[in-house]
């Protein structure tokens, strides 16, 4: 099968999922063509079955903003036509799905039909989709796609509630490559970070307000009052300056490390004891799944798709959004006792195993085949 994958090339969840999916499909014998304005961050190697097509955007004085969507449409037409793709799988509604729909219309005028599958990842529905400037285009793109998937049942329900959807939506959960996220902890690294045996708490995100990183710091401050601990903050974004100031205000500078963006996140997660994810909303919680695969239990909010991943009282705990007190109390239940921590770590890893990429990717393959078969009959 020849598959075109359109995605954002950034470190965000949708780009990570799209890239890891494509790499896995290529390893299973499919020919995969990535189409984006920059090489995806996780596309760190190429094989005989992976190809990358860069979308170039010309800058003309006439345009206040570079017309990326128009360039993407033209590039999709070119790649589908000359690579003879069987299906286009676009990740994120705007502008990828809408561009793919337009490209399909152009191709149809030349007698070429390409089925389009759109995967919704979260903010394209919960944030962008609610914007009146984009809502009608998001809805149209979903309804005009040949197949639609979401990364959780929660997001499927949100999509059907938000828009007038006239087609079935399939929920296919996010996944984890256990061959990568099964890293043996580097004890010398842990000794350098926590020389006195402190518990290691970690958080990874893009430091946006929706991630509530300030709650992470406040929860950690309460943990530290009860036992020796260190906090590792991985990532970067608009809230970082505010978070640094909060750490100074709470006199936590010596106990908090800002590690910035990290490619080998598994090496950091593998030495940690607890992952904090107090987000306002999460369509799935991919960062939490990566932590769990590294034997790290999770304290999270109960927002969005997180209850579908984090099992309350087993792999960690679920708390109300903004309930710092409860999150700190639940954290201490896990961290205060070695035997309890060990059990939560084992439970977290066992749960992560259920989302093994080798279990989930066949769901996509089956969905591709179904959509291609239906489009051929149409």
DSSP 267-297: HHHTT-SEEEE--S--SS-HHHHHHHHTT--
**How many structural domains does the chain have?**
2
Q: Are 24 and 177 in contact (CB under 8 A)?
A: yes
* Residue-level pLDDT at 37: 87
Closest among 181, 350, 163 to 266, alpha carbons compared: 181
Q: Supply the mean pLDDT for the chain.
A: 91
The predicted structure's pLDDT at residue 130: 57
* Residues constituting the chain: 378
Tell me the helix, strand and coil percentages in the chain, rounded to 5. Answer: 45, 15, 35
Write the DSSP symbol of residue 331: H
Q: Are residues 218 and 346 in the same domain?
A: yes
Q: Examine the domain organization and report whether 65 and 167 are in the same domain.
A: yes
85 contacts 1 by C-beta, under 8 angstroms: no
Q: 70 CB contacts (<8 Å, ≥6 apart)?
A: none
Question: What's the mean pLDDT in 181-193?
Answer: 78
CA 176 vs CA 17, 172, 202, 298: distances in Å = 9, 13, 19, 16
Quick one: 325 and 289 in the same domain? yes
Q: Are residues 349 and 223 in the same domain?
A: yes
Question: Quick check: 125 pLDDT over 70?
Answer: no
- pLDDT tens profile 279-328: 999 999 999 999 999 999 999 999 999 999 999 999 999 999 999 999 99
pTM for the predicted model, two decimal places? 0.90
Same domain (yes/no): 103, 239: no
Contacts of 189 by beta carbon, 8 Å cutoff, 6+ apart: 267, 271
Query: What's the pLDDT tens digit per position in 78-111?
Result: 999 999 999 999 998 878 999 999 999 999 999 9
- Asked if 346 and 361 sit in the same domain, the reply is no
User: Looking at the structure, do residues 223 and 342 belong to the same domain, yes or no?
Assistant: yes
Burial pattern 278-300, b for ≥16 Cβ within 10 A else e, equals bbbbbbbbbbbbbbbbbbbbbbb
- Judged by DSSP in three states, 253 sits in helix
d(CA 294, CA 182): 6
206 found inside a domain: yes
Q: Is the pLDDT of residue 129 over 50?
A: no
CATH of the domain at 120: 3.40.50.2000
pLDDT at 9 over 90: no
Whether residues 170 and 213 fall in one domain: no
Q: DSSP character for 338?
A: H
Is residue 16 in some structural domain? yes
Structural domain boundaries, residue 235: 187-353
Question: In this structure, is the dihedral angle defined by the CA atoms of residues 71, 73, 74 and 77, taken in order, positive or negative?
Answer: positive
The mean pLDDT value for 167-186 works out to 87
- pLDDT category, 56, cuts 50, 70, 90? confident
Whether 316 and 362 share a structural domain: no
């Amino acid at each position: 099968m020849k598959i075109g994958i359109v995605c954002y090339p950034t470190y965000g969840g949708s780009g990570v999922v799209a890239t890891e999916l494509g790499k896995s499909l290529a390893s299973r014998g499919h020919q995969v063509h990535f189409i984006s304005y920059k090489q995806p961050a996780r596309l760190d190697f190429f094989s005989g079955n992976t190809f990358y097509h860069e979308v170039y955007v010309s800058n003309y004085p006439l345009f206040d903003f570079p017309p990326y969507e128009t360039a993407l449409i033209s590039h999709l037409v070119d790649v589908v036509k000359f690579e003879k793709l069987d299906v286009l799988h676009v990740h994120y509604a705007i502008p990828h799905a809408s561009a793919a729909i337009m490209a399909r219309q152009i191709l149809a005028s030349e007698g070429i039909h390409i089925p389009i599958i759109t995967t919704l990842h979260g903010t394209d529905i919960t944030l962008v989709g609610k914007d009146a400037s984009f809502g009608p285009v998001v809805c149209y793109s979903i309804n005009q796609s040949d197949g639609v998937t979401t990364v959780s049942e929660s997001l499927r329900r949100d999509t059907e509630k938000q828009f007038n959807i006239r087609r079935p939506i399939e929920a296919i959960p996010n996944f984890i490559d256990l061959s990568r996220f099964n890293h043996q902890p580097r004890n010398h690294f842990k000794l350098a970070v926590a020389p006195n045996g402190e518990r290691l708490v970690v958080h990874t995100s893009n430091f946006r307000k929706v991630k509530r990183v300030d709650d992470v710091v406040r929860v950690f401050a309460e943990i530290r009052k009860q036992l020796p601990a260190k906090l590792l903050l991985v990532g970067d974004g608009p809230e970082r300056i505010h978070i640094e100031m909060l750490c100074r205000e709470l006199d936590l500078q010596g106990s908090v490390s800002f590690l910035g963006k990290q490619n080998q996140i598994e090496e950091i997660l593998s030495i940690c004891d607890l992952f904090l994810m107090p987000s306002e909303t999460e369509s799935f919680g991919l960062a939490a799944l990566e932590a769990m695969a590294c034997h790290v239990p999770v304290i999270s909010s109960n927002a969005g798709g997180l209850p579908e991943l984090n099992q309350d009282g087993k792999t960690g705990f679920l708390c109300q959004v903004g309930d710092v007190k409860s999150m700190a109390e639940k954290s201490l239940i896990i961290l205060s006792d070695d035997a309890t921590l060990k059990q939560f770590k084992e439970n977290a890893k066992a749960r992560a195993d259920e989302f093994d990429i080798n279990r989930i990717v066949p769901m996509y393959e089956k969905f591709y085949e179904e959509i291609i078969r239906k489009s051929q009959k149409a």
